[in-house]
Amino acid sequence: MITPLHAGVGSGLGVIDLPIQREKHTNFPKIEASTLKGCFRESLEQKLGRDTKEIHLAFGCDGCDLEIKEFAGALGFSDARILLFPIKSVKGIFAYATCPYVIQRFNSENSDFLLPEVDELTISKNSTIALTGGDVVLEEYVFNVSKNDKVDRLADALSKIVGIKDLKQRLIILPDDEFTEFVSRSTEVITRNRINNDTGTVDSQSGGLFTEEYLPAESVLYSLLLFGNSIEVFKDTTPKEWFIKNKRGAIQIGGNSTLGKGIVEVKINENSK
């Protein structure tokens, strides 16, 4: 994730006026599959044209200018789930955190690309986030960690799909509960003003100040991309080959695109079945 991202749910019942999407049972941040699908479609329409036949075949059609007016597309998306979460570190600027539950869930969904399972409170032997005494300080919390070769192997495996060169130096495996606490409370919360267009001052009638929640830059999420059969054959290619060839290296997801928010780098594991 290149810039902070707000995939919102409208208004919230908590202290944040505009919270991000979260899983009900874990409270982990997520991006709904419908949001992802719409953003990828918009990106490809900007590149290839809005009424391109292949886009309709890939993403589906509702009243398009084809012989069959309504049909489902060949591409399917799962919700994007958290894999790595950046946390401010006393040493090394920030750490990439994950937890055993996240790794186990990733493996259950990606049987053809299994990540090494690792113990909690471990870091790489080449880590740069540990203090001289061996502790890692994330925000105001101190963690006593140990160095483990399994973290190096996990970082090597993850780097193949996410492309983070210094992941081995920054990676830490937190306990499930502590990871949940960080992803629940360490997102970015920005306070903004509503401005009256006529006066150019704060619009006190509509409440003035409001808060927005963002997933921080450097967050890493993953989604499953599913390829089915379209109602017509793609010209000289398959839906998977067409998507990989035409997808952009970066797309915009979520709100506040005019403020530079939601710029996301897209990585595809082309070897996945």
> What DSSP string runs through the chain?
--S-B--B-SS-SSS-SBPBPB-TTT--BEE-HHHHHHHHHHHHHHHH-TT-HHHHHHHEEES-SSSS-EEE-SEEEPPEEEEEEEEEBSSSSEEEEE-HHHHHHHHHH-TTSPPPP--SSEE-TT-SS--TTSEEEETTEEEE-EE-HHHHHHHHHHHHHH--TTHHHHEEE--HHHHHHHHHH-SEEEEEE-B-TTTSSB-GGGTSEEEEEEBPTT-EEE--EEE---SS--TTS-HHHHHHHH--SEEE-SS-GGGT--EEE----TT--
Domain count, the chain: 2
| In a shared domain, residues 5 and 34 | yes
Is 14 in contact with 22 (CB distance < 8 Å)? no
Residue that is last in its domain, among 186, 205, 237: 186
- Is residue 198, in this structure, part of any structural domain at all? no
Q: What is the pLDDT of residue 134?
A: 86
Domain annotation covers residue 103: yes
- Domain identity same for 23 and 108: no
Q: State residue 71's pLDDT score.
A: 74
Evaluate if residue 264 carries a pLDDT over 80.
yes
In a domain, 7, yes or no: yes
Same domain? For 68 and 85 the reply is: no
Q: What is the residue-averaged pLDDT of the chain?
A: 89
Mean pLDDT of 174-191: 96
Strand partners, 29: 22
The percentage of residues in the chain with a pLDDT greater than 90, rounded to a whole number, is: 62
- My answer on whether 39 and 88 are in the same domain is no
Same domain for 122 and 71, yes or no, is: no
Tokens 């409370």 appear where? 185
Residues forming beta bridges with residue 98, ordered by sequence position? 173
pLDDT > 90? residue 239? no
What is the rounded CA–CA span in Å between residue 254 and residue 2?
13
3 in the same domain as 65:
yes
> Looking at 186, 206, 237, which one is the last position of a domain?
186
The answer to the question of residue 97 being in a domain is: yes
Question: What confidence score (pLDDT) does residue 73 get?
Answer: 82
Residues 6+ apart with CB under 8 A from 88: 94, 138, 139, 186
Whether 197 maps to a domain, the answer reads no
Residue-number span of the structural domain to which 127 is assigned: 81-186
Both 56 and 85 in one domain: the answer is no
Tell me: pLDDT of 270 over 80.
no
* Window from 71-85, 97-111, 223-237, 244-258 with minimum mean pLDDT: 223-237
Query: Does any domain span residue 62?
Result: yes
Look-up: residue for tokens 């797309």?
251
Are residues 9 and 49 part of one domain?
Answer: yes
Does residue 101 carry a pLDDT above 70? yes
In a domain, 237, yes or no: yes
State how beta strands 94-98 and 146-147 pair. Answer: unpaired
254 within domain boundaries: yes
pLDDT at 242: 87
For residue 212, pLDDT over 90 is answered with yes
Whole-structure pTM value: 0.89
Distance CA 7, CA 107 (A): 25
Same domain, 180 and 91: yes
Last residue of a domain, one of 170, 186, 202: 186
pLDDT in tens, 45-82: 999 888 788 888 888 877 666 666 677 788 999 999 99
Structural tokens at position 94:
């920030």
- Does residue 156 sit in the same domain as residue 246? no
What's the pLDDT score for residue 68? 60
Residue 216: its pLDDT value, please?
A: 97
Q: 105 and 74 in one domain?
A: no
